[in-house]
Amino acid sequence: MRVMRRAGALTLATATAAAGVLTATAAPAAAEVVEPFAKRYDESLYGDFKTIGNTVLDCPTSPAATAASCKETQQAKGTKNNNNFVERRIDTAGLTGTFDSSTGQVTIPPGARVDYARLFWGGNAGTHRFGRTVRDICDLNREGNKPVDPAPGDPLTTSPVIRVGGGAQSTVHVENAVRSPDATQGPHYYTAEADVTDAFQGAPTGSPVEVAVGNVWAPSGQGCVGGWSLTVVYKYDGPDEQYAPDRRNVYVWGGHVIQRSTKSRAAAPNGSTTVPVDGFYRTAGDIHASTTAFEGDWNTKGDRFLVDGKPVTEPHTGKTDNFFVSEDDGAVKPKYRNNLSIDAKAFEVPDGAIPVGARSAKLTFTSTGDVYVPSQLALSVPVPDLRVTKTASPTKVKPGGKLTYTVKAKNISQLPYPGARFSDDLSGNLDDATYNEDAKATTGSVSYTRPKLGYVGDIGPGETATVTYSVTVKDPVRGDGKLLNDVDVETPRSNCDKGSTDPRCAADPVLDIPRPPVTVVSSPARRTVQACGSTTNTITVRNPSRHPRVGATASWPVRPGGRPVASSGKVTEKGSRYVWQGTVPAKGKVTVTQKVKVSCTPGKVTVITVTAPGSNCAKTRRGGDDPCTSAIRATRVQGRPAPAQGHPGQRSGPRESGEERHSASDELADTGSSRTLLYGGAAAALCGLGVLVIVAARKRRD
């Protein structure tokens, strides 16, 4: 589900809130705020919105005179309203398993896609309080009114279904469902909402698309109302000359306010409900708006809708003293001029309201005659649009060199952009470079508060504000070797809003850092270790130069023992080799230590040869004093007999537990020229000495 992006709940100003439990003689509050209006959607885009709706109730079919009178009322004739008729549920959409339904249609402009769609529905909750008595009726508290026939389920939990075009029928997830408190005097109402954007995935564009909605909870009965409205927001990826020449900011609100007549109240103006609208900048373009409300009566005057205190003209009657008349845009089945249930329509903002340059407005509901329940508002205003690009020159710089950044902010709209504001965070530069305090702008002003450079200024239609500044790369480089930084436009409506992934919002010049050679030494703590024993091997990578060696690597074969541990950088195991990667600081070193277990076969040699590009160990070598190779020989454990000798290259006995299998190049065979010869010679000498002693003793006895 899409989350409304920038704004939270709006403050809803009303002079008279719900008064709690009322006595039988108390007049109902003029405006009962069951749920304050809150933003459901707020987005700047190339596109706009459309609102449609329809009822799910219709006139009675008998008696004939009553049915005819009701049909006349649906044609906006006569003097009657829904209160005069027993309304009944209808099912006209051809959906599966529904107890009521109706259809409408909406046209999405060619090539656009639906960015957001929200369904609103509601009507009578089927109860009415008069004093201490609650009856199962919708409206007039007359003796003889029959109890309503409620729809299946409950008004707050029953989920409508929707079908868009030739798509599948789907059940919506109920959100923001509220109803009048039981203590509220008069008829009780409910409203609910749902995000139905997914239902429009793949919907055709450029021609009318049927929208079918069913299972809207509505009671059948005297004066009952029930229906739905749908607000669809469409967008393009960029300006469209015909359908979206300029960027617009689109807002959608939802709420539940019972706006009652103030005729009987002494202070009529205090019964109005005002919704503040802000977060935009009013330009000379057209403003678009729509609203949804239940229970508006065509033949009851006194309800007005005002923008900045100026009354809005009802788009179908041309009047300003009766705005809510149960008229819906986009209705198909049924289609009546007066549907007796719901207003769901676009309207024109009156001249003088929301003047050019305004950043906020007030939308006000009031009534001196009718009772109605507003539940939805939508508004779109044209807004200027910035296209930001950032470049760096040169694209490749050496330590000690100068790097110049250029940020261009072009107003690509036909509207002025006052107070454009963006920032450039230099945090990613200052570890490797120094800001030269030389920022300037062709229009507007720039400032610098470490680590951010800021711009603010007015940019006219088609004009470009250019900001330039430079940094000097440190020599030697001591940071991460990266000079990437991004522009964030802090005022709305640009390609570089916070979190943007547009590559034009960033410059990433290459820092041409010298790659000084490094020296590598691999050395064991002991070169001879008793068979099956262990020792520590240390690989040392040194950088004698005054520049860090960034991206250095070294690799060596995996040997039995512990995992290598690096003083900096990272060691990973890739197949049969360990690989270290990291930065060797200027005139510094990195060490990698590993506990290595030698062979359990005396005389076998464990070989560790290091390969490191750009070093003295660039190629694998072997031999005597090679610093790139560690050779660790397994020696015989004292007091144990020597293993039987087999043929060269063959084992003379079973492999000892824990001994790893290695190739001949990993372990070097013992030549027998050291301790074996020494022990053999000593034994021979001792034997000879014993013979001489025995001979001498015998001569003495003789």
**What pLDDT score does 600 carry?**
94
> Looking at the predicted structure, is the pLDDT value of residue 656 above 50?
no
Q: How confident is the model at residue 116 (pLDDT cuts 50, 70, 90)?
A: very high
Better-predicted residue by pLDDT, 359 or 133: 133
What average pLDDT score do residues 109-122 get?
A: 98
> Looking at the predicted structure, is the pLDDT value of residue 692 above 50?
no
Better-predicted residue by pLDDT, 546 or 650: 546
Better-predicted residue by pLDDT, 39 or 669: 39
SS3 content of the chain, % helix, strand, coil (to 5): 5, 45, 50
**What pLDDT score does 230 carry?**
99
> Looking at the predicted structure, is the pLDDT value of residue 200 above 50?
yes
Q: How confident is the model at residue 260 (pLDDT cuts 50, 70, 90)?
A: confident
**What pLDDT score does 31 carry?**
61
Q: How far apart are CA 369 and CA 325, in angstroms?
A: 12
Name, in order, each residue with C-beta under 8 angstroms of 54's C-beta and a sequence gap of 6 or more.
Answer: 102, 103, 104, 213, 227, 228, 328, 330, 331, 332, 333, 334, 339, 342, 344
Q: How far apart are CA 76 and CA 336, in angstroms?
A: 9
**What pLDDT score does 413 carry?**
84
Q: How confident is the model at residue 647 (pLDDT cuts 50, 70, 90)?
A: very low
Looking at residue 375, the DSSP 8-state letter turns out to be E
Beta bridge partners of 234: 48, 114
Nearest in space to 51 (alpha carbons), one of 4, 120, 112: 120
Domain 519-635 top-level CATH class: mainly beta
Q: Kindly list the domain boundaries of the chain, sorted by start residue.
A: 13-382, 386-511, 519-635
pLDDT tens profile 520-538: 999 999 999 999 999 999 9
User: 483 in helix, strand or coil?
Assistant: coil
> Looking at the predicted structure, is the pLDDT value of residue 402 above 90?
yes
Q: How far apart are CA 447 and CA 445, in angstroms?
A: 7
pLDDT tens profile 534-549: 999 999 999 998 888 8
**What pLDDT score does 515 carry?**
83
**What pLDDT score does 367 carry?**
87
Q: How far apart are CA 691 and CA 685, in angstroms?
A: 10
What average pLDDT score do residues 415-437 get?
A: 91
Q: How confident is the model at residue 392 (pLDDT cuts 50, 70, 90)?
A: very high
Q: How confident is the model at residue 279 (pLDDT cuts 50, 70, 90)?
A: low
**What pLDDT score does 621 carry?**
56
**What pLDDT score does 19 carry?**
30
Residue that has been written with the tokens 């009802």 in this structure: 314
> Looking at the predicted structure, is the pLDDT value of residue 254 above 70?
yes
Structure tokens at 596: 């290595």
Q: How far apart are CA 276 and CA 364, in angstroms?
A: 9
Q: How far apart are CA 615 and CA 533, in angstroms?
A: 31
> Looking at the predicted structure, is the pLDDT value of residue 508 above 80?
yes
pLDDT tens profile 86-109: 999 999 999 999 999 999 999 999
Q: How confident is the model at residue 24 (pLDDT cuts 50, 70, 90)?
A: very low
Better-predicted residue by pLDDT, 188 or 369: 188
The yes-or-no answer to whether 386-511 and 519-635 have a common fold is yes
Q: How far apart are CA 412 and CA 246, in angstroms?
A: 9
**What pLDDT score does 263 carry?**
58
pLDDT tens profile 357-385: 788 888 898 888 778 999 999 999 888 88
Name, in order, each residue with C-beta under 8 angstroms of 540's C-beta and a sequence gap of 6 or more.
Answer: 520, 521, 522, 523, 589, 590, 591
Q: Cis omega (within 30 of 0) on the bond before 560?
A: no
Give the chain's mean pLDDT: 84
Q: How confident is the model at residue 30 (pLDDT cuts 50, 70, 90)?
A: low
Q: How far apart are CA 468 and CA 390, in angstroms?
A: 10
Q: Could you give the percent of the chain with pLDDT greater than 90?
A: 61
Domain 386-511 top-level CATH class: mainly beta
**What pLDDT score does 625 carry?**
67
pLDDT tens profile 553-608: 999 999 999 999 999 999 999 999 999 999 999 899 999 999 999 999 999 999 99
